Amino acid sequence: MSEARPGLRPLDDALAELLGFASVLPEVETVATFDADGRVLAQDLVSGLHVPPQDNSSMDGYAVRCADLAQAPATLPVTQRIPAGAAAAPLAAGSAARIFTGAPVPAGADAIVMQEDCELHDGLVQIKAQPVAGQWIRRAGEDVTLGATVLASGERLTPASLGLAASIGMATLPVRRRPRVALFSTGDELVMPGDVAPADMKPGAIYNSNRFFLRALLLRLGCEVTDLGIVPDRLDATMEALRGAANRHDLILTSGGVSVGEEDHIKPAVQALGTLALWQIAIKPGKPFAYGRVHDTHFIGLPGNPVSSYVTFLLLVRPFLLKLQGVTEVATKSIAAQAHFDWPRADRRREFLRVRRNAAGGLELFTNQSSGVLTSAVWGDGLVDNPPGRPIAHGDSVRFIPFAEVLR
Ligand code: AMP
Ligand code: MG
């Protein structure tokens, strides 16, 4: 296969250049740990204690000294009861302590015997199994040690990381401010659901689908969205929309009108008001893509075809918005997977095929890979990232980008 046409930018180059334009938003805000899911940490979090704070039992049972149980079974007096949350007195030699999961291990005890291996009669416990030193004890600091960095600046918080932050006592967290994004769709053919019933749609009209998924994708990435609706296919209207959104936002994101047709006004409008830095990327779907600036505001123009718009958002806009928020790891992760399909006529552009995992652990291809068929993105649970011009045969190893990876 021949090289992609000159003038089309390879995706990795375009992405590197795009990320170069994204400087981290300087503002840091303090939010409740409860509300920090998906936000980006602006400082390292260093623990002021061990987690767990002291050795504790991971079983309901009896705390013992192994030296007392060299011969099992053996019978010991039960000298204290330690539920979770209680303080424990030291364990005297030749005795046992009733203990419950999460309760501190008394000083002197070196093992827990689970209650299933014990029998209690009249304040005496018979231990039937010989314990091994350390068994069923969770050590102080086995999760986090005092002074350890538990979460680093630039990490995007997940439900698990909120729990970890809470476990070291953080009620609030320092995070980057949310990016402010203005969103509009271009296209005189576009109609909003709810405005016109399906039966009343005029010839040539289509519903605006991009607006819905782009807004939802932006919200998932932690952005504040100003939804400017639909802008008509006219240069003056496009310029007015861009001018109105500039300066009050970090990014203006548009869909449609980025090709070079007479009805495509994005390119001249951005050039008239600012600068345009990127144009046309060697990927399929998604060739038309534009980055520029309008005054102090970043501008990104996505293609109008819904799948192209969706895929370019995931591959380019997502890392850009993560970088703005200070995320250090913005690369889209792919994993090796096995193709359970044939793709004999690969495009000379790098392709992102909509596929779905099957029960056999392979990937199946959606039958229609057209950039207008949004069903493929709903049916699919990810993308195969296929290098330019490489045919795929059933059984080949391919790179798979799960949507779950890029939809958060
Ligand atoms: P464009 O990039 O403006 O040339 O549009 C390419 C194709 O995508 C055309 O078929 C448009 O009708 C369609 N399209 C553009 N914007 C949208 C949108 N917001 N929702 C659904 N389809 C769109
Ligand atoms: Mg258009």
Are 127 and 166 members of one domain?
A: no
Are 163 and 211 members of one domain?
A: no
Least Cα distance to 109 among 65, 59, 61, 68 occurs for 65
Ligand 2 centroid, distance to 287 Cα (angstroms)? 14
Ligand 1 pocket member 305 (CB < 6 A):
yes
- Of 304, 324, 344, the position where a domain reaches its end is 324
Is the peptide bond prior to 6 cis by the omega test (within 30 degrees of 0)?
Answer: no
Nearest ligand by distance to the CA of 303: 1
Cα distance between residue 378 and residue 385, in whole Å = 17
Ligand 1 centroid, distance to 349 Cα (angstroms)? 21
Residue 41's domain comprises 36-48+148-176
Q: Is residue 305 included in any domain, yes or no?
A: yes
Least Cα distance to 135 among 117, 120, 123, 121 occurs for 117
Helical H segments across 119-202, by residue range: 159-167
Ligand 1 centroid, distance to 363 Cα (angstroms)? 29
Cα distance between residue 203 and residue 372, in whole Å = 18
Are 224 and 307 members of one domain?
A: yes
Residues, CB-to-ion distance under 5 Å, ligand 2: 187, 256-257, 304
Local confidence pLDDT in tens for the 408 residues of the chain: 444 456 799 999 999 999 999 999 999 999 999 999 999 999 999 999 999 999 999 999 999 999 999 998 999 999 999 999 999 999 999 999 999 999 999 999 999 999 999 999 999 999 999 999 999 999 999 999 999 999 999 999 999 999 999 999 999 999 999 999 999 999 999 999 999 999 999 999 999 999 999 999 999 999 999 999 999 999 999 999 999 999 999 999 999 999 888 888 999 999 999 999 878 999 999 989 999 999 999 999 999 999 999 999 999 999 999 999 999 999 999 999 999 999 999 999 999 999 999 999 999 999 999 999 999 999 999 999 999 999 999 999 999 999 999 999
Determine phi and psi for 163, rounding to 5 degrees.
-65, -40
pTM for the structure as a whole: 0.94
Mark 2-19 as b/e (b = at least 16 C-beta within 10 Å): eebeeebbbbeebbeebb
Ligand 1 centroid, distance to 260 Cα (angstroms)? 14
- Of 270, 293, 324, the position where a domain reaches its end is 324
Ligand 1 pocket, mutate which of 201, 202, 210 (most atoms under 8 A from CB): 210
Cα distance between residue 211 and residue 192, in whole Å = 9
Least Cα distance to 301 among 318, 276, 322, 323 occurs for 276
Are 244 and 320 members of one domain?
A: yes
Please answer whether residues 79 and 130 qualify as being in contact, where contact means their C-beta atoms are separated by less than 8 angstroms.
no
Q: How many domains does the chain have?
A: 4
